[in-house]
Amino acid sequence: MAPLKIAIAGLGTVGGGTVHLLAQQAELLAARAGRPLQLTGCAALERPADLPLDGVPFFADARAMARDGDYDVLVELIGGSGGVALDVVTTALERGCHVVTANKAMIAHHGPKLARLAEAKGVAFGFEAAVAGGIPVIKALREGLAGNRLQQVYGILNGTCNYILTTMRETGREFSEVLAEAQSLGYAEADPSFDIDGVDAAHKLSILTSLAFGTTLDFAQVHIEGIRHVSALDIRFAEELGYRIKLLGIARRTESGIEQRVHPCMVPIASSIGRVDGVFNAVVAEGDFVGRTVFEGRGAGAGPTASAVAADIVDIAAGRHSPTFGVPADRLQPLQVAPMDDRCGEYYIRLMVLDQPGVFAEIAAALRDEQVSMEAILQRGRAPGETVPVVMTVHDTREAAMKRAIERIKAIRAVVEPPRLIRIEEF
């Protein structure tokens, strides 16, 4: 059988890893694909000297390769929601060529449009590598769990944040110090805001939401919070209460719509998600027939992401072809998002207050007025006239009521810092 011809746009960490994988695993891939895989083009600003690219046509302009190159599959590993990445993918699809990408931002913003174009041309648009690196969660949701009505999908979707939170817990150091270390080790970018502010996880969550519930992607409707405000003190109190703090992406079916949110959560230490540490990712899906399924592994890096790219390429070579989002793009249902104010659950609140008579009574009154019921209170030591931390957990409460209570508490003169609120998820 004729080889499957592959062109790679972008030769950074993932692109280089994919080139190495195609070379080192050539026999294995050919056996699993039923035909050889042949690299027939690559594009980058400069030709890397450390990659096995002898005899492979090189393009300094990825758009030119997409337009004029000789390929059956274009692998886009440039990144970014638009610009060159979107141009080369659109060009390849319009030529009637398959596309494989690791670009979660592009899919979150343009996925349905690109899926419709791929379907119109009768070609595949694969993005296994876009969510959770080497974990095969896209295929699992789209195909492996196709017989289930999913109730929720959630997980640790950003390894940088998980590394930072894990290291803060293990060392007792503060966020800024651990972030600087993560940057020095290459786990965080020079500008880490995409990761630590939750945007990267939100891109991935919007994709998982569409796959899990058969809805259109609506990145603008994801509630996003990052981890900048999580302190070593919060992490210590969480441990004392039996929880770990994780940045989670959560998509959940509710009576008022589908929740779609990214924010720090306290989860039980013994839960499947609570035990996932370091740079690892994890995704949990709950279906009506299968129950709970858990996927865990490395969510980034050259090897894991290249592994996911190769999985899509092998499917294309073998003629395995599923609709991009599990159903044809025109059959995706509008996403009805549940308002964040409707979220109901437990909460952790940390206050820094002046240790003086009457403070607890004022706090309790603020909670009582919004019908928020306290579950537990922690205060360690006394320091009359000085600032001390006070930690509370509250029973199931609607987000709107919790927000109103927090505003009341902020107005109390003895509360000297903005209250810290972290949602609790009892998975």
Residue 352: its H or E element: strand 344-354
Q: What pairs with residue 261 in β-bridges? A: 223, 250
Alpha carbons 351 and 248: distance in angstroms, whole number: 23
Residue type at position 84: V
Q: Would you list the DSSP string of 239-278?
A: HHHTEEEEEEEEEEEETTEEEEEEEEEEEETTSTTTT--T
User: Which DSSP helix (H) or strand (E) runs through 159?
Assistant: helix 159-171
Alpha helices by DSSP H, listed for 277-318, are 302-317
In the numeric block, which tokens belong to residue 136? 């095969």
- C-alpha radius of gyration, the chain, whole number: 24
Taking CA atoms, 35 is separated from 6, 38, 283, 313, 314, in Å, by 13, 10, 32, 11, 9
- Closest to 212 (Cα-Cα) out of 333, 343, 326, 330: 326
204 is catalytic: yes
Q: Which residue of the set 5, 104, 139, 204 is catalytic?
A: 204
Q: Which two tokens stand for residue 324?
A: 């991009």
Q: In Å, how far are 148, 254, 292, 369 from 154, measured between CA atoms?
A: 16, 14, 11, 33
Q: Which residues are annotated as catalytic?
A: 204
